[in-house]
Structure 1
Amino acid sequence: MTGPDINIPERAVLHILVLDFDTLECEETSASGFSSRGCRVLTNAHKELGKTIGLRLAGFDQMIKGRVREILDSEILVSFEFANSTIVEKRRERRRKVAIPALVSGRGSQDGVRCEIVDASQSGCRLASRRLEKLPKNIQLQIPGLDMPVTGEIVWRSPEFAGVKLIWQFSNGQEFNQKRLRPPDLPEKTGMQEKRDASGFGVRRKSAPN
């Protein structure tokens, strides 16, 4: 199936965030070679064929669902999956133990509870906190490294733990048709070693020593 038109210069190198749904870890890196089908991502992680990841492109409002289709030395080739905007995985999930601080609140609320995500999978996670009774059923989670909230639903809770169903919504590709993106402050070149003090997500980097 042919994807939407991609209004990104062919030689552009964009700042992106890559979200690992298995661990909820977020990596800031760069991507190039954009087409209607996918792109190349600079990374030494996610080296698993068929793995589903989330791509957050600077300048766009929604996360893109992607799947690893080829593994190279320091890159992966990722296919975009626009047809279904909600993640649905049929494979058996494995819960992974993690220790991720998260600010959890009601959807659209600014008042949150500081929790720790203690295990995670693609479809859900478990929260640990002694203030879980303050949270409503429908929640949003702010996790480190990701500049947008993750929507969830509490399906069970005890005095110190809560089980959360994660509800992933993805871009259907319409943004690519409607928006012409020029990468901020990045030259159009094929090399992916360009470093800046701050990314398109407002993430500050440590300055290199003189």
Structure 2
Amino acid sequence: MNMLSEHLKMHCDARLPGVLSLSIRESYRFLEEIIQREKVLQRPEMKKTWGYIRHGLIDVGLKQVLQSSNIDHEIADKASSRYRNGHTYLMIETKGAILTPSKVLRASAVPRKAIFRDKGSILNKRYSLFEDPKDINQEYNEVNPPFMLLTYGGTNHELSFVRLGLPDIENRCWMDQVDITNAPVVLANPEEITNELHLSFTLEAEELIKRGVKNVGKEGI
């Protein structure tokens, strides 16, 4: 199936797949650096914090790289936890898509929670997630712009894949998926953007570690 590939070519910013993949890959790389640097995170009981820290780094990474790339977009954060300082999830609108990231165990897995979490929000543009809607897309209805899931994951806390997918909400399966793990980063200043990204990670890392420790056991991290 080439449905999603064609849509990305025809209706989305050509830089988008590479930018999304770069954000995820650099988030995983920085997490590994933190684990190697912070001895406390190497203790067996502290492995439960890695998922929380990774989640936070990916949020930071997506925001930073999209901003640095100058791709037209807007981002909304929404809490998905009943605990204070718990998980949030991003909803990103860009030309031709509304998408949200989600970690999965297998490349073909459909993250059901992410689908049903956002089902009510993607049907029209009247939701209040975005503080100042920019109307990036010309039309908003049940299929336009399409809702996509940015899925990523692997085993043993290592990244094996990054994918964009069109979920079939009613049947809980994929209509189509595209692997963007090694999508080219089509940016004029990729090295500068990566440096800015790592600076953002460094500024946020200490707080993410503190929150991760505090939330161990609360959210199944």
TM over 0.5, yes or no?
Answer: no
Which structure shows the bigger proportion of residues in strand conformation?
A: 1
Bigger Rg, which one: 1
